[in-house]
Structure 1
Amino acid sequence: MNTADSDIAIRLRSLSHAFAGRPALHALDADIRRGIITGLVGPDGAGKTTLLRLMAGLLKPDSGSLQVEGLDPVTAGDALRTQLGYMPQKFGLYEDLTVLENLTLYADLRGVTGAAREESFQRLLAFTDLARFTDRLAGKLSGGMKQKLGLACTLLGSPRILLLDEPCVGVDPISRRELWRMVSSLADGGMAVLWSTSYLDEAELCGEVLLMHEGRLQYSGSPQALMDSMQGRSLLLQGIAGNRRQVLRRALRCPQVIDGALQGHAVRLVLRTAGELPDLSSLQAGPDASLQAVKPRLEDAFIDLLGGGPGGDSPLTEHMPPARLPDGVDADAVIVAEQLTRRFGDFVATDHVDFRIRRGEIFGLLGPNGAGKSTTFKMMCGLLPVSSGAARVMGLDLKKSASQARQQIGYMAQKFALYSNLSVAQNLEFFSGIYGLSGARQRAAVTDMVRVFALQPFLAMNAGELPLGFKQRLALACALMHQPPLLFLDEPTSGVDPVSRREFWSHINSLVDKGVTVMVTTHFMDEAEYCDRIGLVYRGRMIASGTPDELKAMVASPALPDPGMEDAFIALVERDDRLREAT
């Protein structure tokens, strides 16, 4: 074996797999090398999880060859088990066991005993910074800490290959960076790491990437080389006067533009061909608007490989009527929190939080896992009682009129709170009934949502069997059934690929233009750019608020003159830690 071959940990040749005759992978050829993180990137349904399961020996290929450490994962599974660590999307932590009990269980399963077990526990607890939490129940850990514990369990037995399936879904930026640092150190030590992700900024950091779409490999190689191929095609439209959402919509209608997204008060565009610019006057962005070339992102190249984004027009524009406020409701205070506090025993989850949200505004609640944003969010929806302070929506006090207030709200829960064992049609009927629709009005609402979100082909399918992007469509359809003036979105695009996220935000932008008021939580920092204002929650308190550009300006420095939203998020949280330590 030559040196080049010895660097290869996993080799795929013409690898194909199908489910019930439906192709999932088409003749894949790729090599996964040791000593680097290889990113596995693709939209929902691209075949990423199928590929990882084949590598882990959980599925048998239909054709082609797959070698992991020179072994066939199916026929040599026992020999391979000690060399491979596999962390699926829903890693099987036992939430009623402690951190140490989970480690002990997985050590038993992997045959790690005696002195080797004790040494492994000490090393992994130090590596993941969980040594202080060995007696804590896994169910009481934050999202980031659960992922660290899952990683520790996966690393028991010192595997040579690590397969990670979307390890950062639902994890805040600080925990994502910590997890990335830990895995990078493993790769630096010679481990082969395959990291499946829907975060394209994460994939930019990988040594190599495999970009997949509909079971086919679209690109294999350096992410930097792919980004370099986009030079001259990524632009920032600055100096916008007027409604930036409408400017984005007009830009996406231009034949020269294949993708676009909001970036603070600017609009980021990707051109079909370098040098062929849209007509600025057609964008109606104001007299001071200008286009400036910016560094391409991997996401630009990814969407280009898929033939462009979904566009900016939403059928909701025609369907939804303008959102109207009841008489006497202040348009500048449609959603109000005043000294909002929630206690669980002696623990203060939300601590005297204040904010006001205007009609037709998108307000983002950001914060690390366990910071209190979900508690705040649930109180504002009327799903959790308020300990003290006030929460009002549409002039209704949620302490006194929670049921009445909920009829004004469309709620899209984290992980899409659909009934997976009911069909798409049954979910639509159920949720429309919850929102008080019946008879001809209910039938009309269901028909409209099926048309608007193109759900007709899936009506008989159980919701649990839908691709993630279509689950998202169905969840949004259910939330909008009663045409609410307020929309509450709890991490609405967690785990969803960039194309589906673009489509989702085109719907939200069209609703906001109709006067719908939106409150959203998210861990996608590029998604936070769509918000008009942001409140950053940490340790139960609101530590910063303002527009996305204002939050970025708070942390700008000579060393970091042009910070992104993730930079701002992390710097503001770290600043608050320093202030607490100093007092």
Structure 2
Amino acid sequence: MALVVAKNISKSFGKSKAISNLSLEINKGKITGLVGPDGAGKTTLIRLMTGLLDLDEGELEVLELKLPNEASKVQEQIGYMPQKFGLYEDLSVLENLKLYANLQSIEKSKQQSRIEELLEFINLKDFKSFLAKDLSGGMKQKLGLACALIKKPKLLLLDEPGVGVDPISRKELWAIVDKLISDGVGVVWSTAYLDEAAICDEVILLNEGEILFSGEPKNLSNTMEGKIFKVVGKIKDKRKTLRLALQNTHIKDGVILGDSIKLICDKKENLPKLEDLEANECKYEPMKPNFEDGFMNILKGEFNGESKLAKQMGELEKSDSKYLIEAENLTKSFGSFKATDSVNFQIEAGEIFGFLGPNGAGKSTTFKMLCGLLKPTSGTAQVLGMSLEKSSYKARKKIGYMSQKFSLYGDISVYENLKFFAGVYGLKGKKRSDKINNMIEIFELEKYKRTASKDLPLGYKQRLSLACAVMHDPVVLFLDEPTSGIDPQTRREFWNHIYAMVQKGMTIMVTTHFMDEAEYCDRIALIYKGKAIALDTPHNLISQIGEDATMEEAFIELIKREDND
């Protein structure tokens, strides 16, 4: 039985068409993934299914009920978890569940048993007295999911539930939802993580309100058979080799994967000669295509390795020090809780250093100490040979920082944010106006120039945040989950800029929950329960787990080993 049937539906907001003449079916007992770039229409489509938005044209039935006429009956039988789920931060886990049980008119006599059942189901029984604000990101998402499930739904609509959640918590979320399928519940799971999309039963790929692909994920992956290759061997300069490869017209895309380079070519016979890529001691090996390869291809994503952001940068100030970022026995306590516990690492000039760990592991706390935003309890945090906590304004101008949570001024426009940060970094006159115009062009912000930044789509919020963090050409750049929640095309653009800025001499420290991005880094520190439990190259960390292991498997296994010690 089809739980959702849409026929030629459309929805516009002013002159902008969010959904355009779209038809689809969503079936019982399956997880249907909803993927696409920012602004593709995913959230609008989900909100139409909930009856929270009215159609402009077409016919839409949910659970054999017509929308919008029977919206209230639909809402009684579905579960919905929006992107910004409305947990009450000052209420406990138990109080949030009781509140949602009352809102859903569940009989008092049945509330207790349902809440206990859900706490067991989401593995939060031991946390029911915790305030929602004190939960980790993964726990918050699990509680949000439980609130959406408080009345057993026939259809569950999840709008990017995995955003900002670490791989372990995402696996737990997936396992919880997977159990619902055996009860015949239909699930629509909107996601920016293409590894999640690849394990859905069916996938709908949207772009500009239209369906570009609908079906089993493997069918999209298979369209790229024979087009994916890996450069393996002794690569002198991985970033340079990748850039040279991307300049070849037959190479459509490419990324660094640990010690190798993945390339997408239109056909095998058109692969460039390895000596032209300065990879003489290497060879090509065929690779099995994945869902992301098919996704990028159908959206016609092509990257030539050029970065307008890096091109417009001036000469970066050279440092005499070998290490530009240093943490020595770095510790931060909040009462009896140690958020960061004797962390040590050194980051060389021109390095991309990845900082990985589950939610609540201490990554952002460490970042804030390095940037001078938090005072260490003990130990030292130095950038460019100085502690930023005590440093001068002049020293801080050499640092760029993009925080995990959107930290720009929400009530002022994109242009006003750029102007403000240019002033903060001491840019004046023509240099300031040129920089602002450059950022608007590079990050395609022209159409949002007068929009309040809080009203931007998530991908554009991240673009604006990055623009503000780099407009003064910093020597050292801190990026705290810069690609969280943004679509794969924009993620690739960001990494294109990161590679190119490092080629210019910038040193970058980055946190991420995308395990493929961890492999783009030169070295990785894995932090868990406030301690750095591993520090090495991506290739060496993966090799500790197994020859054919993935970065995600390495991440999970290293944490398991730490727990078992």
Q: Which TM class, normalised by the smaller chain length?
A: over 0.9
Q: TM-score, normalised by structure 2?
A: 0.97
**Are 1:262 and 1:529, in contact at CA under 8 Å, matched by a contact in 2?**
yes
**Are 1:95 and 1:138, in contact at CA under 8 Å, matched by a contact in 2?**
yes
CA distance in 2, matches of 1:108, 1:77: 20
The alpha-carbon deviation at position 399 of structure 1 amounts to 4.4
User: What amino acid sits opposite 2:237 in the alignment?
Assistant: N
Residue in 2 aligned with 1:20?
A: 14
Q: 1:118-517 alignment to 2 at 5 Å?
A: 118-273=112-267, 275-285=269-279, 287-326=280-319, 329-331=320-322, 333-401=323-391, 403=393, 405-517=395-507
CA distance in 1, matches of 2:16, 2:447: 16
Query: Which moves more between the two structures, 249-258 or 367-376?
Result: 249-258
CA distance 1:455–1:76, shift in 2 (3 Å): closer
1:30 aligns with 2:37: no
Report the 3-state secondary structure (helix = DSSP H, G, I; strand = E; otherwise coil) of the residue aligned with 2:509: strand
Residue in 1 aligned with 2:557?
A: 571
Report the 3-state secondary structure (helix = DSSP H, G, I; strand = E; otherwise coil) of the residue aligned with 1:86: strand
The alpha-carbon deviation at position 525 of structure 1 amounts to 0.7
Residue in 1 aligned with 2:513?
A: 523
**Are 1:382 and 1:405, in contact at CA under 8 Å, matched by a contact in 2?**
no
The alpha-carbon deviation at position 277 of structure 1 amounts to 2.3
Report the 3-state secondary structure (helix = DSSP H, G, I; strand = E; otherwise coil) of the residue aligned with 2:65: coil
CA distance 1:226–1:441, shift in 2 (3 Å): closer
CA distance in 2, matches of 1:390, 1:303: 43
CA distance in 2, matches of 1:491, 1:357: 18
**Are 1:231 and 1:274, in contact at CA under 8 Å, matched by a contact in 2?**
no
The alpha-carbon deviation at position 343 of structure 1 amounts to 0.5
Query: Which moves more between the two structures, 423-432 or 315-324?
Result: 315-324
The alpha-carbon deviation at position 274 of structure 1 amounts to 5.3
CA distance in 1, matches of 2:55, 2:208: 17
CA distance 1:81–1:460, shift in 2 (3 Å): closer
The alpha-carbon deviation at position 473 of structure 1 amounts to 2.3
CA distance in 1, matches of 2:69, 2:436: 50
CA distance in 1, matches of 2:2, 2:406: 39
CA distance in 2, matches of 1:404, 1:132: 49
The alpha-carbon deviation at position 405 of structure 1 amounts to 4.0
Q: Deviations over 1:503-522 (max 9, x none)?
A: 11111111100110001111
CA distance in 2, matches of 1:335, 1:200: 33
Residue in 2 aligned with 1:3?
A: none
CA distance in 2, matches of 1:311, 1:30: 35
User: What amino acid sits opposite 1:309 in the alignment?
Assistant: E
CA distance in 2, matches of 1:442, 1:220: 47
User: What amino acid sits opposite 1:577 in the alignment?
Assistant: D
Q: Deviations over 1:148-182 (max 9, x none)?
A: 00000000110110000000000000000000011
Report the 3-state secondary structure (helix = DSSP H, G, I; strand = E; otherwise coil) of the residue aligned with 1:354: strand
User: What amino acid sits opposite 2:416 in the alignment?
Assistant: Q
The alpha-carbon deviation at position 308 of structure 1 amounts to 2.4
Q: TM-score, normalised by structure 1?
A: 0.94
User: What amino acid sits opposite 1:455 in the alignment?
Assistant: L
1:71 aligns with 2:65: yes
CA distance in 2, matches of 1:437, 1:319: 15
User: What amino acid sits opposite 2:562 in the alignment?
Assistant: D
CA distance 1:124–1:275, shift in 2 (3 Å): farther
CA distance in 1, matches of 2:392, 2:285: 48
**Are 1:27 and 1:64, in contact at CA under 8 Å, matched by a contact in 2?**
yes
CA distance 1:274–1:49, shift in 2 (3 Å): farther
Report the 3-state secondary structure (helix = DSSP H, G, I; strand = E; otherwise coil) of the residue aligned with 1:176: helix
The alpha-carbon deviation at position 229 of structure 1 amounts to 2.2
Query: Which moves more between the two structures, 443-452 or 117-126?
Result: 443-452
Report the 3-state secondary structure (helix = DSSP H, G, I; strand = E; otherwise coil) of the residue aligned with 1:72: strand
CA distance in 1, matches of 2:183, 2:378: 52
User: What amino acid sits opposite 1:257 in the alignment?
Assistant: I
User: What amino acid sits opposite 2:552 in the alignment?
Assistant: E
**Are 2:459 and 2:485, in contact at CA under 8 Å, matched by a contact in 1?**
no
**Are 2:257 and 2:516, in contact at CA under 8 Å, matched by a contact in 1?**
yes
CA distance 1:240–1:51, shift in 2 (3 Å): farther
User: What amino acid sits opposite 1:307 in the alignment?
Assistant: K
Q: Deviations over 1:269-310 (max 9, x none)?
A: 12224553233332222x222111111110000000011234
CA distance in 2, matches of 1:275, 1:127: 52
Q: Percent identity?
A: 50
**Are 2:329 and 2:342, in contact at CA under 8 Å, matched by a contact in 1?**
yes
Q: Deviations over 1:401-449 (max 9, x none)?
A: 2755432211111243222221121011111122233344433332333
Residue in 1 aligned with 2:49?
A: 55
Q: Deviations over 1:307-327 (max 9, x none)?
A: 12343210133211342234x
1:549 aligns with 2:554: no
CA distance in 2, matches of 1:386, 1:100: 34
CA distance in 2, matches of 1:246, 1:216: 37
Quote the RMSD (CA, aligned, Å).
1.5
Report the 3-state secondary structure (helix = DSSP H, G, I; strand = E; otherwise coil) of the residue aligned with 1:278: coil
User: What amino acid sits opposite 1:313 in the alignment?
Assistant: E
CA distance in 2, matches of 1:330, 1:480: 22
User: What amino acid sits opposite 1:260 in the alignment?
Assistant: G
**Are 1:362 and 1:517, in contact at CA under 8 Å, matched by a contact in 2?**
yes
CA distance in 1, matches of 2:54, 2:155: 19
Residue in 2 aligned with 1:4?
A: none
Structure 1 gaps of 5+ residues are: 1-6
Query: Which moves more between the two structures, 58-67 or 268-277?
Result: 268-277
The alpha-carbon deviation at position 47 of structure 1 amounts to 0.3
Aligned residues: 565
The alpha-carbon deviation at position 231 of structure 1 amounts to 1.0
CA distance 1:221–1:434, shift in 2 (3 Å): same
User: What amino acid sits opposite 1:426 in the alignment?
Assistant: E
The alpha-carbon deviation at position 239 of structure 1 amounts to 1.4
CA distance in 1, matches of 2:304, 2:148: 41
